[in-house]
Structure formats: structure tokens, C-alpha cells
Amino acid sequence: MTEFGATVNRRSFLMGLGLSGLVAPSGALAQQAGRVARVGYISNVPGDSPLVELWRKAFVDGLREHGWIENQNVVIERRYAELRKESSLAVIEELIRLPVDVVVVSSTLTALVARQATSTVPIVVTVPADPVATGLVASLARPGGNVTGLSFVGTELAGKQVELLKEAVPGLGRVAVLANPGNASHAPRTKEIAEVARALRIRSEVVEASTPRGIQEAFAAMAKRRPGAAIVLADPLFVREAHNLVRLAAEQRLPVMYGLREVVVAGGLISYGASFGDLFRRAATYVDKILRGASPSDLPVEQASKFELVINLKTARALGLTIPQALLARADEVIQ
């Protein structure tokens, strides 16, 4: 999968299909007496993933807190899209035809496709790493256009992950970074990791994977290069393959840093990152404001405010690692 870049303007294509007239009504219409609001919700991870269900529940609970009760005054049109432009576009076009009042997306790629597919339907993003760097919004304070939502500050956190991993693995001299070339946010994150690693006198090298088989091959490559540890960047594919990632890391006795608490609960060594559950719950606030008539261009993009450092001591013992007490004391959660 290649980096998502400039593509043919989808508006002209949609006009040719006659979709330009099938745009969702403005948010104010959602408040018409007796009208049920309709929200499109796109996930890039299959619905059988426990993580997806947790995040979806957080979003639905967030809507309920604002008075939107599913199947009473709001219908949530759930869709799954593979992490490919063609798949995301097909799902977005379907939601536009329904129509929906707002579309909620999680991946950077799907958000970019959605923005090119429509300039009318409001788009709320939940967990893009850096919406400004990837071109989703003009700025956090003034997003402009029809895209707004949240960011989990992935670029800056990537550097912090290197620092924490060095503390957890004394004498770390080389770190591998597992990235998905199809994720538009991974390039700035790998650059940040390289810069921080260089300052800490750690060699970093990127290993790419865009399919489950590619993950297997990436770990095989790491086995030959023998890095002292690895960082797995947050990505829908890596979320779906979380258990395989944990298994492969255990087989190689490789200390791995993840971006999600849930992967460490499943057996990973350490994670540092934003609470995705919190971000999905907060996304409901944006949807609520839009359904009540607010314009996405007037809603500043908010960055993650809740971060979690989680360490699995059982996994550390299996790897023969002794986690420094100072690091354990800073952890938000220690799994025994």
C-alpha cells in the first residue's frame, strides 16, 4: 500500500454520478421535531475485534450523555472499510446516498478520502495522529472546511515512546519501528523517532508491513537484524493483528513498545499513548454539536488529554527484564 497523497478530485466524479444532490442535510435539520438523526460510523478494523467494540461502546455512551439514544432519536449506520482508498470511498459514497447527517471516521486515510468525497457532509475524526501534518485541517484552532474532531498527538508521543523504551531496556542500542506504508501519519512519526533515537545514541530502522503476511515477514526480518527492542506504531491493521504481534514478540523474546493499553493487557510489554476510549467518547461531543447546528469549520480540533503508561511485569519477567522502579512508579497501570 502506498502513502496516501494527492489523488484525482473526487468531487467531479461524484457529480458525474449525480451524488452532489444526495448530500446529508445540515446539522440544524437533525433538530426538526420528530426527525431521527443519522450518523455514519466507519471502522477500519473488523467488527469482531474486542477493541473495536470497546471504542464503539465509548462513542455510543458519549452520545447518550448528550441525550442521543441509539434507535430512538439517532440511528448509527456502522460500516467497515478496509484500509484502502477504494474500500473507504465505496463506504463513504454509500453513507452519502442514505443520507447521513455526519460521518465519524478513525483512520487518517479514511478521513482524507471522506474529505475528498464530500465538502458538504460534516466529518468527525477520532484518532488521526496529526491532522495538520497530513492535510486534514488547516489548523487545530481553525480547521476550516467540513472536517473536525480529535487528535491523539501521535508524532510527539512517538519520541516519548523511544525515551520510555530506553528506560525499560537498559543498554538499548538499536530499535526497530514497525510502520504501515499505507498510513499517512506514520512518516512523520518514524521521523520523530529517528531524531529522538539519534539524540539518545540509539540506531533506529523502519520495518514496514501492510498485510498480516507482511507482519510475519517484518518480524522475520527483525529476527535477522536482532534489534534490542521494537516500537509498533498505532494502526488499524496492527490493532486487528494485536494478538499475533504479541505472540511474535514473545517468540523472539523482543521487548516491544505499543501505543495502546489494550495490547499490553493482552500480553505486550509496555505501552504509552492516548486513551482511545476517551477519544471516541469525546468524539460524541462533536457529533452532538453538529447535530444541533454547529459548523465543523467553527469547532477547533482538540488534542488528547488522557495518556497512559502501562507495563506488564509478567511479560517483563518472561523476557528476563527488570523494569526500573522509577519507571514503575510513573506507570498509570502495572499488570502483575
Quick one: pLDDT at residue 151? Answer: 85
Among 189-198, 300-309, 325-334, where is mean pLDDT lowest?
Answer: 300-309
Q: 323: which 3 cell numbers?
A: 523494569
**154-275+307-335 matches 10-152+277-303 in CATH topology:** yes
Quick one: pLDDT at residue 47? Answer: 67
Distance of alpha carbon 74 from alpha carbon 72, whole angstroms: 6
CA distances from 233 to 51, 114, 118, 124, 245 (A): 16, 23, 29, 22, 12
CA distances from 323 to 61, 165, 278 (A): 36, 10, 28
At 235-259, the pLDDT tens digits run: 888 988 999 999 999 999 999 999 9
154-275+307-335 CATH fold = Rossmann fold (3.40.50)
Quick one: pLDDT at residue 253? Answer: 96
At 218-228, the pLDDT tens digits run: 999 999 999 99
At 101-110, the pLDDT tens digits run: 999 998 888 9
Q: 41: which 3 cell numbers?
A: 460510523
Q: Under CATH, which architecture does the 10-152+277-303 domain have? A: 3-Layer(aba) Sandwich (3.40)
Residue 78: which of 130, 20, 39 has the closest Cα? 39
Portion of the chain with pLDDT greater than 70, in percent: 88
Domain ranges of the chain: 10-152+277-303, 154-275+307-335
Residue 164: which of 198, 188, 200 has the closest Cα? 200
Orientation of helix 85-97 relative to helix 10-17, angle to 10°: 50
Residue 26: which of 38, 14, 41, 42 has the closest Cα? 38
Quick one: pLDDT at residue 302? Answer: 92
Distance of alpha carbon 69 from alpha carbon 250, whole angstroms: 43
